Structure 1
Amino acid sequence: MKKSLCIFSILMFLLSVPVHAIHGNVNGYFSKQKGAKGISVSENVQKDALQKVFKLRNGDLIFQNVNCGPMCDAINEVTKGYHGAKFSHVGIISIDKGKVNVIEAISKGVSVTPLAKFLSRSVDDNGKPCIAIGRLNNKHLSLIPKAIDEAQKYIGKPYDDYFDITNDAYYCSELIYLIFLKANNNIPIFPLAPMTYKSPKTGEIFPVWEDYFKGLNIPVPEGKPGINPGGISCSESLTMFFPFK
């Protein structure tokens, strides 16, 4: 959600190798995923480290937790992700002619970002990407082509600094909400909820949000409808995977 989500670079390798997916639990390995079709993506996190491999599919949602200082800390404190995971950003995988990109809303607007660049923004102390994958369940798989088409229409649209779902600008989770809403005949897959900018510990607006919206010359939009990456990750419409845990 934060504007400054566009930095760094790393090296990715596309391999045709067996696929292992970690899903359902952020703390351990799970069984090999069978029958998946897509692009095998591996990240060589260290020279001597074991490669972690996950087979991405078109339309997968890709979540990450970027370090953007107090604003991301505030986001994480009031939004809860799948099994307690912390997410401050989300995009959608687009695979075209073997090229894996992420369509996302970032500071420069709705953009197409190479997967390697996306993964580089959030890594742990060992250089492993801090990401998770949300895969639509069978009920909604047929919506993916139309959702990708919808996402393409928004490329170049501005970033939504105001977090206002009624304007013609878009923040990361708003983009995901909207493209699947339109793909599903205006029936939401990921519902909106009242947004809060208050600390659950104090009940007061976080100072970082007070300063942020003061700079925009608008009141803090407390209670206005919106959506966040953590909320999307908890949707029953998704199965969550943690390929680098």
Structure 2
Amino acid sequence: MWFTVLAIEAYAQSLSIGLQTGDIIFHQSKSAQSTSIQKATLSPYSHMGLVVQRNQQFWVLEAIQPVQYTPIKKWIERGEQYHYVVKRLKFGLSHTQKQALVTAAERYLAKPYDLYFEWDDRAIYCSEIVWKAYAYALGIELAPLQKLKQFRLADAEVQALMKKRYGQRIPLNETVISPQAIFQSKALVEVARQ
């Protein structure tokens, strides 16, 4: 029960620090693939989304199944131990830039989640939607794109997930962007942590 109280307190604290549309929120997901993503990318975080203020409330526009808006409190509750980190572009965003960013991200609403981490737009994953929204709307590349082969793929759990998804034809040259790459972006500054 104390976790529920903690989640409510975390949510209240987030609002009090002044979240803004365009902020990027990270956490460790409870999904089946979370540990594999963390191991492959050497990251404590496996999921992320774009914070958007709509009708005086904060939401996370996120790539899950399907891409959708999730109330921020519910998003925080889905993370391990209600821990999250919020980052923001260092130089801030104008109202017009925020609108452009949301419009770019919303073009993916209702698209399926991309289990194969492909760079095309038929389906989309969490870090991909945030990277593409910033790049396409504002011309800001939050982090360098990578190839799948650049991740730590030798771990047994990572190997098992890849074989389940790809069989023997692992697309090592697929262009990808990870939550960790965006988390480490020099263009971002941390504004909240719980």
Give the TM-score normalised by structure 2. 0.83
Name the aligned partner's letter for residue 213 of structure 1: Y
In structure 2, what is the equivalent of residue 87 of structure 1?
Answer: 45
**Aligned with residue 116 of structure 1, among 70, 73, 78:** 73
Identity %: 25
1 CA distance for matches of 2:61 and 2:105? Answer: 7
Q: Could you report, residue by residue, the CA deviation over 1:9-41 in whole angstroms, capped at 9, with x for unpaired residues?
A: x68769xxxxxxxxxxxxxxxxxxxxxxxxx94
The 8 Å contact of residues 41 and 54 in structure 1, kept in 2 or not, is answered as no
1 CA distance for matches of 2:74 and 2:111? Answer: 20
**Aligned with residue 42 of structure 1, among 12, 36, 57:** 12
**Aligned with residue 97 of structure 1, among 34, 38, 55:** 55
The 8 Å contact of residues 52 and 243 in structure 1, kept in 2 or not, is answered as no
The 8 Å contact of residues 150 and 183 in structure 1, kept in 2 or not, is answered as yes
The 8 Å contact of residues 128 and 176 in structure 2, kept in 1 or not, is answered as yes
Give the TM-score normalised by structure 1. 0.67
Question: SS in structure 2 opposite 1:91?
Answer: strand
Q: How many residues align?
A: 188
In structure 2, what is the equivalent of residue 58 of structure 1?
Answer: 21
2 CA distance for matches of 1:199 and 1:79? Answer: 9
In structure 2, what is the equivalent of residue 189 of structure 1?
Answer: 142
In structure 1, what is the equivalent of residue 84 of structure 2?
Answer: 131
2 CA distance for matches of 1:207 and 1:153? Answer: 33
Q: Following superposition of structure 1 onto structure 2, how do residues 167-182 of structure 1 map, counting pairs within 5 Å?
A: 167-182=121-136
Name the aligned partner's letter for residue 98 of structure 2: I
Structure 1 runs (4+) greater than 4 angstroms displaced: 10-14
C-alpha displacement at 1:60, in angstroms?
Answer: 0.6
The 8 Å contact of residues 145 and 177 in structure 2, kept in 1 or not, is answered as yes
Name the aligned partner's letter for residue 144 of structure 1: K
Select the structure that is richer in helix.
2
Structure with the greater alpha carbon radius of gyration: 1
Name the aligned partner's letter for residue 31 of structure 2: C
Question: SS in structure 1 opposite 2:63?
Answer: strand
The 8 Å contact of residues 233 and 240 in structure 1, kept in 2 or not, is answered as no
Gaps of 5+ in 1: 1-9, 15-39, 44-50
C-alpha displacement at 1:116, in angstroms?
Answer: 1.4
Change (3 A) 1:213 1:121: same
Change (3 A) 1:52 1:189: closer
Question: SS in structure 2 opposite 1:208?
Answer: helix
Q: CA RMSD in A?
A: 3.0
C-alpha displacement at 1:164, in angstroms?
Answer: 0.8
